[in-house]
């Protein structure tokens, strides 16, 4: 069943436009930087930016894939890379006074290393430009390239995040060029390298509760530390249909299920996205 797009009453969000929001908007514009908050039309942008946090999106704003759940523009960037971007991200991190920086990217299958080298450079630049700031990277799958993944692992970010996104039955429908098991293997390799790991799921794509719990079990089988669970919102009529809206009570139940399975931190709610309240999550892990 496909439900109407009208949002339930619990989808009240903080409207963008606070002084802190405007300050961050200026910092991003001056640094010619992209954020996934803007490109993916995150509903929590008013809340997060109002608290002075944002998720940097490196390697441009054009993705080489066209996943059926994502609002980010797809196309062919033609191998272009901005080698100065890591330094500008570090400068923005310093200007914002961040204690925890989250960096993600579009998929860049047009690059030999999928952009792994620029991820590593960005981690190093933040460490140098904003000492004491912890770093979380939300990385693509690099098409299973172990050497590319190792490049990021060697940079030793405090959190290595890679989203599983959905359950196995639906995975290839919404991520045709990805692999559920490849994503699990990536998280397993990161954990065996000694990093704290994190993953996220969307619900409302047509999965069952049993499938969600089984995916939690799969993530725990590779000792994933942090889990985020949020509501899928259909960006357009081309994207995967929205099956239903989960209630706040259901999200609370999923959080409890995750904690019972051993996740160190579970963020679960209608407006939760991968980097939602990320600073609190890393604080829980390092305390």
Domains, the chain, ranges and CATH?
19-286 (3.20.20.70)
DSSP state of 63: B
- pLDDT category at 2 given cuts 50, 70, 90 is very low
pLDDT value at 285 more than 70: no
pLDDT given at position 40: 58
At residue 16, the pLDDT reads 62
Angle between helices 146-153 and 116-129 (to 10 degrees): 0
pLDDT band at 4 (very low <50, low <70, confident <90, very high): very low
Residue 36 has pLDDT above 70, yes or no: no
Q: Provide mean pLDDT across the span 201-222.
A: 98
Average pLDDT score over residue span 115-139 = 96
**d(C-alpha 10, C-alpha 283), whole Å:** 28
HSE-up of residue 215 (Cα within 13 Å, Cβ side): 27
pTM of the model: 0.90
| Confidence category of residue 1, pLDDT binned at 50, 70, 90 | very low
pLDDT band per the 50, 70, 90 thresholds, residue 22: confident
Kindly state the average pLDDT of the residues 150-177.
97
The tens digit of pLDDT for each residue in 44-84 reads: 666 666 555 678 999 999 999 999 999 889 999 999 999 99
Q: Residue 3's pLDDT is what?
A: 41
140 or 31, which is more confident = 140
The residue-averaged pLDDT of 200-229 equals 98
- List strands edge to edge, sheet with 226-231: 34-35, 55-58, 100-105, 134-138, 159-161, 196-203, 226-231, 265-269
| Cβ count near 230 (within 10 Å) | 24
Q: Which of 82-91, 257-266, 275-284 has the lowest mean pLDDT?
A: 275-284
């Amino acid at each position: 069943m496909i439900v109407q797009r009208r949002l339930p009453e619990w989808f009240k969000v903080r409207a963008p436009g606070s002084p802190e929001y405007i300050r961050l908007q200026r910092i991003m514009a001056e640094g010619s930087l992209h954020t996934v908050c803007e490109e993916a039309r995150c509903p929590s942008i008013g809340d997060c930016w109002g608290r002075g946090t944002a998720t940097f999106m490196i390697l441009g704003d054009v993705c080489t894939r066209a996943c059926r759940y994502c609002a980010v523009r797809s196309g062919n960037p033609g191998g272009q890379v901005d080698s100065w971007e890591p330094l500008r991200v570090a400068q923005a991190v310093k200007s914002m006074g961040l204690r925890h920086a989250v960096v993600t990217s579009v998929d860049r299958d047009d690059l030999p290393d999928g952009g792994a080298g620029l991820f590593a450079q960005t981690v190093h630049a933040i460490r140098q430009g904003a000492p004491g700031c912890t770093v979380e990277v939300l990385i693509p799958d690099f098409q299973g390239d172990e050497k590319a993944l190792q490049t990021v692992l060697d940079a030793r970010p405090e959190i290595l995040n890679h989203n599983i996104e959905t359950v196995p039955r639906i995975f290839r429908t919404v991520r045709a060029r990805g692999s559920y098991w490849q994503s699990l293997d990536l998280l397993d390799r990161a954990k065996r390298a000694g990093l704290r790991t994190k993953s996220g799921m969307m619900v409302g794509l047509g999965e069952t509760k049993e499938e969600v719990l089984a995916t939690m079990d799969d993530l725990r089988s590779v000792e994933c530390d942090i889990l985020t669970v949020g509501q899928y919102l259909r960006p357009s009529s081309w994207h995967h249909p929205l099956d239903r809206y989960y209630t706040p009570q259901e999200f609370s139940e999923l959080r409890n299920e995750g904690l019972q399975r051993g996740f160190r931190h579970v963020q679960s709610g209608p407006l939760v996205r991968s980097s939602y309240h990320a600073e609190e999550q890393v604080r829980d892990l390092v305390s």
